[in-house]
Structure 1
Amino acid sequence: MPATKFDEPTRERILRIASDLFYRQGITATGVDEITRQTGVAKTTMYRAFGSKDGLVAAYLERRGADWRAHLEEQVSAAADDPAGRLLAVFDVLAAWMAGDDFRGCPFINAAGELCDPEHPGVVATREHRAALTAYLEDLAREAGATDPAALVRRLLLLYDAAMVDGQLDGDPLRAARDAKAAAEVLVAAAMPGAGAGRERAHRRPPVD
């Protein structure tokens, strides 16, 4: 059914409230009855707007991903002039978000852990977000002159994910983000041209007279 001028604000209200519930409580723990009660709309209205709860979950993750990537790119661009510095600034932006009182871990990792079906619309949205984030970081790594941008980004994403998981489980998100950035600095430096030769020279023994 085509959206009307009334339908679009209603859809946005459902999405906003459901997104908050999904992130704070979990996707499976949040039922349609609770969503409709808190939004004040009938189930038929919700289904007309999103098709199903699965469709609403996918919309939540798509919006979350788009908003985060836009925020990340804006903050990273403002934080550093050089591409290598921007790669590391990703962890500063991550730390600032993780320091918030509403941090409940990565919404995409959380969703992937809850949704077992690889073809679930929410899992598809999660994979699409990951692909877009990876492409952005690979562009930065390529601009920074990394010898193997894809390999560097895979390793940086391991740190990126680990920071969020550790911050959620350990209860000290800032420490997790700082440690991840410190490790990222080593990876970025090692990924630059000539880094291997530099290490070899540093470890080469002086000649014996």
Structure 2
Amino acid sequence: MSSNLKERILQTASELFYRQGIRATGVDAIVKAAGTTKMSLYHYFPSKHDLVLAHLQKSADAMRERILTGIAERAAEPKTNLLAVFDIFGELLTLDEFRGCPFINAATEASVDEEAFKQVSADFYRKFRLHLAELAAAAEAKQPDMLARQLVLLISGAIIAEQMQRDSGAMGVARHAAEILIGQACASAP
């Protein structure tokens, strides 16, 4: 029962943090929405700060799983793996509940004393970039690390553009740019 309550609190907090923002979501709102007490919340999460970090870790784990599963379901060859990532993010951007990237949102909301939020967010993108670099190396890109950095910039920029203006088609534009970059980076040397 207790692990169910802990998970319910975390799930509720994650939904509220993502939908309303971290600063705008107070502990009282989380307790009310989770149908529990502050005492129970603080038993599992000693502070709101700890709860936010758990939310970000939960989001990172879910996003990594979604990316890996999505690539496995779509990809046929190394170059296609890189483009599949754009399709996966493109699907996320069309969801009604889309409110941007939870890591970008947390990093922009973080104050000086919440440096850990920025660190968790940066860590997600660092691991994501490293994974893209592995995919780029498998696709025989000339500079896999550089290509991975370019693709992460395209994806994060498209996410922000879509957050600012829904149905902008930003991820489609980013995917098209990625096709050009991948084509150039993976072109056989003469």
Instruction: Give the deviation of 1:176 after TM superposition.
Output: 0.8
**Match 2:82 to one of 84, 87, 106:** 87
After TM superposition, the structure 1 = structure 2 runs for residues 1-209 of structure 1, keeping only pairs within 5 Å, are 6-117=1-112, 120-173=115-168, 175-194=169-188
Q: For the residues of structure 2 that align with 1:185 and 1:25, how far apart are their CA atoms?
A: 35
TM-score by length of 1: 0.86
Larger Rg: 1
Does the 8 Å CA contact 1:55/1:121 hold for their aligned counterparts? no
Percent identical: 38
**More displaced 10-residue stretch of structure 1: 150-159 or 75-84:** 75-84
Does the 8 Å CA contact 1:57/1:121 hold for their aligned counterparts? no
2:112 aligned counterpart, secondary structure: coil
For these two proteins, the number of residue pairs brought into alignment is 190
Instruction: Give the deviation of 1:20 after TM superposition.
Output: 0.5
Instruction: Give the deviation of 1:117 after TM superposition.
Output: 2.7
TM-score by length of 2: 0.95
Q: Could you list the runs of 5+ residues in structure 2 that have no partner in the other structure? A: none
Q: For the residues of structure 2 that align with 1:123 and 1:47, how far apart are their CA atoms?
A: 23
Partner of residue 202, structure 1 = none
Does the 8 Å CA contact 2:9/2:41 hold for their aligned counterparts? yes
Q: For the residues of structure 2 that align with 1:125 and 1:29, how far apart are their CA atoms?
A: 20
Does the 8 Å CA contact 2:12/2:33 hold for their aligned counterparts? yes
Q: For the residues of structure 2 that align with 1:27 and 1:72, how far apart are their CA atoms?
A: 24
Q: For the residues of structure 2 that align with 1:135 and 1:51, how far apart are their CA atoms?
A: 33
Spell out, residue by residue over 1:81-103, the C-alpha distance to the aligned partner (whole angstroms, 9 max, x if none). 11111101100011111111111
Instruction: Give the deviation of 1:105 after TM superposition.
Output: 0.9
